[in-house]
Structure 1
């Protein structure tokens, strides 16, 4: 079975287990303003464009900052934690390295902004990602297909010949809408069964060939 032309990776919750960092940052800034936050609210933000999340935080807390400032405050806290410790998801780095060894390029497709994506990428060997698409560099965030379409275009590959790896419903919808066969790896929130995606419990032990086999039923031609 042929390997994908490229693998398009989500970041938060897929490559790195940063969702707890985001949730802690949300709790902190809301509580510093005299409000209360809860995990139900936090889980609604998983996978979202950060500006969408900021608008939600503003609407559900006493914070009256502009959304851009809310995003900046969240990023400062999350980036600081990532620079102290990158919480890799089990099997993710190993699969990323194996894909590179097999000659399969990878792209990072994240709704986090460039400053956080850079902090993660800098902790990997040079060239681990051939392209990086971030939430502050696209016109439409996930679940719109633009981020995945942009990644495939940057790599010069047909989206239908790629594989996306995602952990959130929002991200899965984005990848599927872009025509990318998608491997859903639910983590913090459940991912509903979605046409165009298959689910696995984790990436630990996953190989490039195993990845191709997992999505074989989604690939046409």
Structure 2
């Protein structure tokens, strides 16, 4: 007799592009900043090739490709530019609050695992009315940043770190990601991984494609 599947106890979400509709704004800030360096980049190119990555690596790759030196204050300037765009235009991903509320009602643990810093996660989730699902008085906050442990996707160690902190095993979790970089990390961690495919990209082998976040409720 086939052994029954282990019950899912937690859903781990990426943040940018998965819960908050920030990828366009993140890459718009990148485009604007490189324009100030005299480099013209298209949003399509940035979103396709650089979303979900580590900021310092993105800047290094772009500066190398366009034969410029990386400015010493690049991150401070970028974060300030991005904060202004977030304050003006950031919205949650369609259906995010509904999905989180229904998962909460199912008594699943909910966590965010992001390559972004804690300050960015907290601001964007609060701005979009979603922070309450990950920070409350019942248990420690469930926001895991690559900057806190120096483990960046696509390294699966970031997800394994978060799962261990939750007191769970990979087989008890699922991951939701919107970028190939994040999907690679989830699959390498040995976790069932959903690919929220906003851009009609090929679904990475081993991942489960969903077209909108609400599809997760029937796909779990």
Q: What is the TM-score normalised by the length of structure 1? A: 0.84
What value does the CA root-mean-square deviation take over the aligned residues?
2.2
Is this contact kept in 2: 1:91–1:206, CA < 8 A?
Answer: no
* Counterpart pick for 2:57 among 37, 43, 52: 52
Q: CA offset at residue 165 of structure 1?
A: 0.3
Q: How does 1:8-47 map to 2 (within 5 A)?
A: 8-38=12-42, 39-47=44-52
Is this contact kept in 2: 1:167–1:191, CA < 8 A?
Answer: no
Distance 2:34 2:67 in 1: 7
- Residue 77 (structure 1) aligned with residue 81 (structure 2): yes
Distance 1:55 1:189 in 2: 28
Structure 1: runs of 5 or more not aligned:
213-221
Q: In the alignment, which residue of structure 2 is the partner of 1:164?
A: 175
Distance 1:2 1:83 in 2: 41
Structure 2: runs of 5 or more not aligned:
135-140
SS at match of 1:11: coil
Q: How does 1:93-132 map to 2 (within 5 A)?
A: 93-123=97-127, 124=129, 127-129=132-134, 130-132=141-143
Q: CA offset at residue 74 of structure 1?
A: 2.2
Q: In the alignment, which residue of structure 2 is the partner of 1:136?
A: 147
- Residue 203 (structure 1) aligned with residue 213 (structure 2): yes
Give the direction of change, closer, same or farther, for the CA distance of 1:205–1:41 in structure 2 (3 Å limit): closer
Give the direction of change, closer, same or farther, for the CA distance of 1:201–1:132 in structure 2 (3 Å limit): same
Give the direction of change, closer, same or farther, for the CA distance of 1:34–1:91 in structure 2 (3 Å limit): same
Q: CA offset at residue 160 of structure 1?
A: 1.5
Q: In the alignment, which residue of structure 2 is the partner of 1:177?
A: 188
Q: What is the TM-score normalised by the length of structure 2? A: 0.84
Distance 1:4 1:74 in 2: 38
Distance 1:56 1:182 in 2: 28
Is this contact kept in 2: 1:4–1:163, CA < 8 A?
Answer: yes
